[in-house]
A = this chain, B = another copy of it.
């Protein structure tokens, strides 16, 4: 069975041109004029782009004996509805748990995925077992290792552990990722705020100021430099962190920054909302920032000092959020975004003139594929590439609302936002999962994407 996408304009990270695209066996088999196939998708007036890649999600993440509400099924369904055809999730070992053991758990959860996925492995503790298993994780197709500089007493690793892990990455051709906030200072600020009676969600933002993120980013960059590895900084939310990245890059260092769509488009006034639920639903780390920081992130995308746009999708329900009533430090950290990332970035980036269409593709798809070493299988419209494709209708509008979303979460942080620019069709390895508003996803269609260590290239 062949599918042809006809009459569209192909937009990739570096090209814009008119051509049809032929898909067969899950791959792109031809690009050119006047192609024919068994099934035809009409892309008139649309842009045919590489499907989005969200390099940072947490589906079915464990929390207090339950899980975040979007699992690999609903999460990837939401992704596809918004034009995203691949997610990279995080395998998170418990304290003392082996990496391979944790990986098995994530393997199990991901069997229901509607689109392809890959994993980052987190280094949540340090020891000989972790050291030994790291190359075995790489052998399993995972070349990226996440480190938390915050969440003290839980996921956080210290500088000496991080340096050891980064050096291990260097040896095995893997890339370290960091969640960059100074966990010691955050913990003290949290305790101080609680002691002063500030226990509401607004205190969450007070406990994690931009300075704390900037410092940790700067520190991680130094440690990576000393270890001789590149560095990928997740959820860059502030000018402070971005400045550290820019400064390192200006010295020729290889550092990538990942802003989230939330930080690009929402600000900290959300936490001052009188409704506890409204504010708590926006609790994530780092917290939303003010306008100055937003401007910085957009400029970074335009100039190339920031590389990719993610969501950190971690869909805690209002009920789960309420676990932190009376103590903001117990509000589970995370918001949704998978379904809205691409329409929101198009609306606020391309439609405003901040980003070109090619830069949009780079930021939402191609750069992730390159950095994570799965380009051009992913992130490309090329013959031979996986047929992960979004047919983007730049005229299509909607108002974002939880009422109609695919995500299992009971609210949406973008509730009420108008977007213009939405998928007409989304294809995952050739399968049309979204067809003009109709959801045709197939549970379990998604496959794990193995990624070679970069040193192997």
Which residues of A come within 8 Å of B, CB atoms? 13-17, 152, 158-160, 163-164, 167, 182, 184-185, 187-189, 209, 211-212, 214-215, 218-219, 222-223, 225-226, 243, 246-247, 249-254, 292, 295, 298-300, 302-305, 354, 366, 370, 375-376, 457
Contact = CB atoms under 8 A, between A and B. Distances in A.
How would you classify the secondary structure of chain A's contact residues: helix, strand, loop or mixed? helix
B209 A226 contact: yes
A80 B189 CA distance: 47
Nearest to A379: B14
A182 B298 CA distance: 28
A158 to B, nearest CB: 7
5 contacts: A163-B188, A214-B222, A215-B223, A246-B250, A254-B302
B188 A164 contact: yes
A184 B158 contact: yes
Nearest to A187: B160
Given A211-B225, A215-B219, A219-B219, A249 B185 contact: no
Contacts of A298: 252
A-B CB proximity, top 4 nearest:
A252-B299, A159-B184, A249-B303, A215-B222
A184 B159 CA distance: 6
Contacts of A292: 292
Contact of A218 (B188, B215, B305): B215
A304 B255 CA distance: 12
Contacts of A303: 249-250, 252-253, 304-305
A181 to B, nearest CB: 11
Nearest to A215: B222
Contacts of A223: 182, 185, 215
Contacts of A222: 182, 185, 211-212, 214-215
Given A14-B366, A215-B222, 9 more contacts: A15-B375, A16-B457, A160-B188, A185-B223, A211-B222, A218-B218, A249-B305, A303-B304, A304-B305
Nearest to A189: B226
A375 B14 contact: yes
Most buried by B among A17, A152, A159, A163: A159
A250 to B, nearest CB: 6
Contacts of A212: 222, 226
A246 B187 CA distance: 28
Contacts of A15: 375-376
A250 B299 contact: yes
B14 A370 contact: yes
Contacts of A14: 13-14, 366, 370, 375-376
Contacts of A254: 302
Contacts of A13: 14
Contacts of A247: 243
A218 B211 CA distance: 10
Contacts of A185: 159-160, 163, 222-223, 226
Nearest to A167: B188
A211 to B, nearest CB: 5
A283 to B, nearest CB: 20
Most buried by B among A152, A211, A225, A366: A211
Nearest to A243: B247
A253 B302 CA distance: 8
Contacts of A457: 16
